[in-house]
Every structure is written in structure tokens, then in C-alpha cells.
């Protein structure tokens, strides 16, 4: 981005003086005013991102923790700064100075702090949403479970007295060392000491131990965020250009013909329509599988594919010879198929069909 684009991005068109302060970290001559903006922006980023996560109803408590750990950390924010072109605006006082992660990360926060002073929190929420979408698009998210755990420890939370012990070597050849890390502390007042799996780096061992510690509250935190392999900047084009390259998406198919595996968890004598809607409220996918298994007029199949950091489900169901297709997208296959199943229940008007054709069917 050019300078004028960044000014508009952070909604500071009428506040050039404040913009100038926000793009000058100490290495470039900035002083306490920059530091204050960065501190303010750090707080605003937390508030705005929390609001964004709460608006995404599909996310579980664990999903939100995973995104906090992967978004608000030094490496992710510095990569966002590079992607937006911040490094090309910096003019260090020392000509030999190399731009650091800290400079770019604090610039993002300082610009948010400046925008907050002028425009308020609601405006900053939309800016943070754009930044988060940019991070997802360019695969910039870096998981930082250690940072998240220490953040919880500093706040009033269920995690207290956290101590991250120095990783120790546990084996491996000299050219491929293996390390383990241990974290001790309290969760809801109970003492825990959790050890990592064997990792090839000390940092990796600390992150693994921190992830396991966070799982005491959030459940499994594995496998939903794709990590970038490099921290190279990505050039962002101002205008949208149609790509002529072909990207192949491979789907795997799952048949829903599972009659021998379906077991009813209700007493005999309940109306099929009542049972279906009771089950569909919590598990629309399972409810559709029930119909597929017990009604000859209904046939279905699902296909899955992984796109970037999310799972995609293409759901097809045939009702009395008429086909319906819907797509679900989520952080896991279960969330993707739940979304697709809910859509297909609505689009196929299944309620009317069941009422018309199976009003008195008993299971």
C-alpha cells in the first residue's frame, strides 16, 4: 500500500499530525507519544477482536482461544505491517539499523490507537476485521499459546501462578536435538504441572506445553490454524485483478448410506417428525442421516475439502427424486457439515415435506 492508502485504511485522512506520530517508532525518532498510542492500540485491538469473535456464532470457546493466540502476537502483527507496506515508510535514525519485528508490530497498534482517539471503538472494530481478513487471506496467523497463557496469567482468570520452566534436552542426535518443556501453576486453584511432547526446538516445546495447559479450559486446540512457513511480505494490490491460474480443490466423498450404524436414542412410539426436529436443533447433520437411513425417499452424500485454514463440506440430498446442494464452511469438518445440513433443511423445505408425507410415522 502507498502512504495515502494506509492513511485511509486507518481512517486518519483529516489527522495527518497524529498519523505522523503513529508511524514513528523509537528507532525512527518517535518518543513517548508513539509509545502511548501503541499501548492504547494494544488495548483497543483486544477489545475489537473480542467483539469480532463474539459475533462469529459458529466458533466454540476453544476456537476463540486459538484465534486470539494466533492473531494478537508480535510475529503476526509484524507480518501484517509488512504486508501493508509499513517497512517502506520507515526511516531509521541509524542508517545501519535493520527494521525489527517490534517496530512493525507497534506501528499497527499505534495506528489503531490513533484511529481510536479520532473515530472511536466501533470504527476500530471494522479496521481490525479488515486486518484479520487480511491475515486469513495471506496465511499470516502464527499460533502463540505461550503468549496467550501468560496474558491470562496477568489478568483475572482461571490461570494463576504460571511458571514456564527452561526446556531441557531429552535426546536426539547432535544435529537433531529433542527438547521437552514443563509448565507449572494453578487452574481454578488446583496445582498442575504439564509436560510437552518431544520437540526439535526449545520454543516448540514451550508452545506445546502451553497449548496443553490452555486445553484445561478450552479443550483440544490442535489442528485448526494453518501456519505460514515464512515471514516474507506479500504485496497487496489496490485493485482487484482476476486470476487466470487454476487451483485444484480435491474433495473426498462420504456416503450417507449408514443404515446398519444408526441407532435411535429415543423410546419407541415417538412421531418421526417430532423426533427429527428435536434432534435437528443440536445436530442437523445427524438428523438428516437418520432420515437417510430410515426413509427410502431420501438419499444423501457429502464431500469434504480443505481450503486454507478451513474445512468445506458440499452436501447433497435427494428428496423424492429432487436434488438439493448446499455448502458449509467451518474450522472443522463437523462445523462445516453442521452448517451445510442446517442450510439444506431450510432450502429443501423439509419440514413441509415431512409433515405432508410422514405426519403419522412412528419410530
Pairing outcome for strands 190-195 and 252-255:
unpaired
- Could you say which DSSP state residue 199 is in? B
Give the pLDDT of residue 244: 44
Delimit the domains of the chain by residue range. Answer: 1-139, 143-237, 252-357
Give the pLDDT of residue 150: 85
One fold for 143-237 and 252-357? yes
Residue-wise pLDDT for 199-227, tens only, equals 888 888 998 899 889 888 877 665 544 33
Alpha helix (H) ranges present in the chain?
3-9, 16-22, 32-55, 61-71, 74-84, 101-119, 121-137, 145-154, 202-218, 272-280, 284-294, 333-347, 350-357
Taken as a whole, the chain contains a residue count of 363
Specify the fold of 1-139. Answer: Ribonuclease iii, N-terminal Endonuclease Domain; Chain A (1.10.1520)
Give the pLDDT of residue 308: 62
Sign of the Cα pseudo-torsion (156, 158, 163, 167, in order) = negative
CATH code given to domain 252-357? 3.30.160.20
pTM of the full structure: 0.51
Give the pLDDT of residue 257: 44
Other CB atoms within 10 Å distance of the CB of residue 127: 20
The residues near 259 (Cβ < 8 Å, ≥ 6 apart) are 293, 294
Give the pLDDT of residue 258: 40
**Of residues 124, 123, 136, 111, the one with CA closest to residue 6:** 111
Give the pLDDT of residue 179: 93
Residue-wise pLDDT for 232-273, tens only, equals 333 333 334 444 444 455 555 554 444 334 444 555 567 777
**Packing angle, helices 121-137 and 74-84, rounded to 10:** 90
The residues near 141 (Cβ < 8 Å, ≥ 6 apart) are 67, 70, 71, 76, 135, 225, 226, 227, 228, 309
Which residue positions in the chain have pLDDT lower than 70? Answer: 57-59, 156, 220-269, 308-309
CATH code given to domain 143-237? 3.30.160.20
Give the pLDDT of residue 60: 74
Give the pLDDT of residue 231: 36
The residues that bridge with 1 in the sheet, in sequence order, are none
Amino acid at each position: 500500500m502507498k502512504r495515502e492508502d494506509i492513511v485511509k485504511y486507518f481512517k486518519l485522512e483529516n489527522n495527518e499530525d497524529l498519523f505522523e506520530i503513529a508511524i514513528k517508532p523509537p528507532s525512527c525518532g518517535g518518543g513517548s507519544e508513539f509509545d502511548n498510542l501503541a499501548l492504547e492500540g494494544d488495548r483497543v485491538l483486544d477489545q475489537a477482536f473480542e467483539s469480532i469473535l463474539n459475533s462469529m456464532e459458529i466458533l466454540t470457546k476453544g476456537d476463540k482461544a486459538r484465534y486470539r493466540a494466533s492473531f494478537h502476537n508480535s510475529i503476526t502483527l509484524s507480518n501484517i505491517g509488512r504486508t501493508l507496506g509499513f517497512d517502506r515508510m520507515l526511516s531509521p535514525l541509524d542508517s545501519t539499523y535493520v527494521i525489527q519485528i517490534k517496530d512493525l508490530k507497534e506501528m499497527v497498534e499505534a495506528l489503531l490507537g490513533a484511529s481510536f482517539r479520532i473515530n472511536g471503538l466501533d470504527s476500530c472494530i471494522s479496521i481490525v476485521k479488515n486486518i484479520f481478513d487480511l491475515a486469513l487471506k495471506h496465511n499470516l496467523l502464527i499460533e502463540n499459546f505461550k503468549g496467550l497463557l501468560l496474558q491470562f496469567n496477568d489478568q483475572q482468570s482461571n490461570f494463576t501462578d504460571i511458571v514456564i520452566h527452561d526446556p531441557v534436552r531429552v535426546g536426539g542426535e547432535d544435529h537433531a536435538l529433542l527438547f521437552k518443556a514443563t509448565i507449572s501453576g494453578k487452574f481454578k486453584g488446583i496445582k498442575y504441572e504439564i509436560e510437552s511432547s518431544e520437540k526439535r526446538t526449545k520454543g516448540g516445546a514451550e508452545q506445546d506445553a502451553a497449548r496443553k495447559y490452555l486445553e484445561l479450559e478450552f479443550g483440544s486446540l490442535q489442528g485448526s490454524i494453518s501456519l505460514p512457513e515464512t515471514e516474507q511480505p506479500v504485496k497487496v494490490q489496490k485493485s482487484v485483478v482476476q486470476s487466470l491460474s487454476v487451483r485444484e480443490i480435491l474433495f473426498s466423498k462420504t456416503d450417507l448410506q449408514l443404515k446398519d450404524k444408526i441407532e435411535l436414542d429415543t423410546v419407541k412410539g415417538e412421531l418421526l417428525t417430532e423426533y427429527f426436529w428435536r434432534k435437528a436443533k443440536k445436530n442437523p447433520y445427524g438428523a438428516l442421516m437418520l432420515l437417510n437411513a430410515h426413509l427410502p425417499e431420501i438419499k444423501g452424500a457429502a464431500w469434504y475439502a480443505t481450503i486454507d485454514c478451513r474445512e468445506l463440506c458440499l452436501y447433497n440430498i435427494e428428496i423424492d427424486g429432487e436434488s438439493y446442494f448446499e455448502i458449509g464452511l467451518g474450522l472443522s469438518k463437523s462445523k462445516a457439515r453442521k452448517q451445510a445440513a442446517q442450510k439444506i433443511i431450510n432450502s429443501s423445505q423439509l419440514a413441509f415435506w415431512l409433515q405432508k408425507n410422514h405426519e403419522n410415522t412412528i419410530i
